[in-house]
Copies of this chain bind each other. A is one copy, B any other.
Amino acid sequence: MTVVALLLFEGCDVMDVTGPYEVLLTANRLASRWVVDLPFEVRTVSLDGRAVVAYGGLGLTPSHGALHDNHDAHQLVVPGLIDLDAGMADRVLVDGIARAGAHIDRVASVCTGAFLLEAAGLLGDGEATTHWEDAPALAELRGRGVTRDDVRWAIDGDVITSGGLSSGIAMALHLVEQVAGRPLAEATAAQIDYVWTLERG
């Protein structure tokens, strides 16, 4: 079973978290119907284990406490945020992601979460993506590699970045494919009524 920790923080974009959350839970539900092993344990965590207020005012309380207590997770998912300047300047947030990245092998971002991975020193020199609107800024920040604005997710070793908001759903379906195979990933996409494509639009 792959343990996935979805990070919550102040001002995070709620669809970036809940898209992957729902995909992984749905994959589990279908696996249960198919009488195969559940592929995922889905955890929500925050930096200090406390509730946060997401962008738009919805409060989110993590199911599994503090990020630093979840180093047994196999996959970390970092959502994006609208006020990116505030996020990049938040050393507690960036340092928390960096420390978790040192223990958790596989890291993913959704939308502008790619900027937080870069700030945390977790993005490599290969391909990455982010929200199409922010791709030029991420390319400039990185100063290396290939930053794409035409795909829903990009893979660079153990780091997966994904595009804007609903692209996190597409990326999570890729995680289902990696962990449990293409049939379950396609059934999950159908179950959540999502048109699953690698390329945007």
Contacts and interface: CB of A to CB of B under 8 A. Distances in A.
Contacts of A190: 201
Interface string A48-68: 000100011111111110000
Q: Within the oligomer, what is the number of copies of this chain? A: 2
A56 B21 contact: yes
Interface string A182-201: 00000000111111010011
Interface residues of A, number: 43
A77 to B, nearest CB: 13
B29 A22 contact: no
Contact of A197 (B152, B164, B165, B195): B195
Interface in A21-36: 21-22, 25-26, 29
A42 interface: yes
A29 B82 contact: yes
Residue in A60, A163, A166 whose Cβ sees the most chain B Cβ within 10 Å:
A166
Given A22-B56, A25-B55, 19 more contacts: A15-B19, A18-B18, A22-B165, A26-B165, A42-B57, A44-B57, A51-B59, A51-B61, A57-B63, A57-B64, A58-B60, A59-B59, A59-B60, A59-B62, A59-B63, A163-B193, A166-B169, A167-B193, A195-B197
Interface of A: 13-15, 18-19, 21-22, 25-26, 29, 42, 44, 51, 55-64, 82, 131-133, 152, 163-167, 169, 190-195, 197, 200-201
29 contacts: A13-B22, A14-B22, A15-B18, A18-B58, A21-B56, A25-B55, A44-B57, A44-B58, A51-B61, A56-B63, A57-B63, A57-B64, A58-B62, A59-B59, A60-B61, A131-B193, A133-B191, A152-B193, A164-B191, A165-B193, A165-B194, A166-B166, A166-B169, A166-B192, A167-B193, A190-B201, A193-B201, A195-B197, A195-B201
